[in-house]
Amino acid sequence: MSDFRQAFIEFSISRHVLCFGEFKTKAGRMSPYFFNAGLFNDGDSLRQLGQFYAKAIIAAQLPFDMLFGPAYKGIPLVSAIAIALAESGHNYPFCFNRKEVKDHGEGGLVVGAPLSGRVLIVDDVISAGTSVRESVDLIQTSGAVPAGVVIALDRMERGSGQFSAVQEVKHTHQITAVSIITLDDIINYLQHRSDLAHHLQAVASYRAQYGVA
């Protein structure tokens, strides 16, 4: 596991974003872990989160021309990531959308740089894929090309069918999905943490029952 992935897991645990126990998912499953990116809710957390995204993007070597953050969660994300990338010597334009078209002032649906070229979508997780689908539609309607999507965690978990939400997005939109960490990274991390080892069996069993290849 890359150093920044291990550091991100430790960062997520320290901010209580990644927790272990018993949690009921939207699908009604009892999950032995929970990831709540909404708890990255102060300035220092957002700064570090943007840096981790930037490291994952650079490591993926994915070609793109600009960043797009879907409202609402994607707005602070795309801003933090753009700053972190610029501090690493990679300066990209970015934008985000409004939920409703503004009919006065500058108007329009997009705030920031115009959508053009190859656009990298940023989000926290992919659940049903609705946010990505809406983003792809907006990008294509603007004459740009969706280059991929980057998220914090890939749960690697089946939905209603045999594929995960991330796999569905890849197949449906023919785009690359990049994540800072995956469930396999979490399992690997637990294997090397004696103080958290008692959670390992439950997480691994959940992966075996509901996971995808």
- Dihedrals φ, ψ of 126, to 5°? -115, 115
Cβ atoms within 10 A of the Cβ of 188, count? 15
Known catalytic membership, residue 104: yes
As a whole number of angstroms, the distance between CA 62 and CA 3 comes to 20
Structure tokens at 107: 């108007």
- The residue type of 60 is A
- Please report which helix (H) or strand (E) contains residue 19, including its range: strand 18-24
Query: Which residues are registered as beta bridge partners of 112?
Result: 95
Catalytically annotated residue among 16, 24, 90, 102: 102
Whether 90 is a known active-site residue: answer no
Q: Which residues are catalytic?
A: 102, 104
